[in-house]
Amino acid sequence: MIAGIAILLLDQITKTFFGTRDFFVGSIHFHQAKNYGLPFGLNFNPGINAVVIGIAVFIIYYFCFKKKQENYIGLVLVGSGAFSNVLDRISLGYVRDFIDLGMGFTFNFADVAIIIGLFFLSFCKQLLRDKEQKNKHN
């Protein structure tokens, strides 16, 4: 729980700090960008809020009722990142992005946490499959 709050706070602080600045570090451009779509500036339809809220509800349900310890890190990363972006979406009507790699999309710390969390969730699932297969053969 503390890790999730720390990720949420770090995201909100970095969005506030970088939202008023415009500078480059090497080829990375730090500047505020208003994201009305999905992470990394992807935008598919106007019902995006319903999709984001649905994903957040699923994560909360999964975390509260499935309680699989091996998925804890991934769920905390995805859940706290999603919750921080939902806070922006509810309070501002958009998500504050600020990291621009020059590839046509911008992102923020919450997006990074979500992607890393999804990696952890996928990685843990694969490790469990490998372990089950190994146990079957022994």
Q: Could you tell me the pTM of the whole model?
A: 0.76
CA–CA separation, 16 vs 53, rounded Å?
23
Active centre residues (catalytic): 97, 111
DSSP string, 24-45: EETTEEEEEEEE-SSGGG----
Give 37's contacts (C-beta < 8 A, 6+ positions apart). Answer: 43, 44, 48
| H-type alpha helices, the chain | 2-19, 48-65, 72-92, 109-137
Confidence of residue 135 (pLDDT cuts 50, 70, 90): confident
Confidence of residue 41 (pLDDT cuts 50, 70, 90): low
45-79 residue pLDDT tens: 556 666 666 776 776 676 666 655 667 788 889 88
Contact present, 39 and 118 (Cβ < 8 Å): no
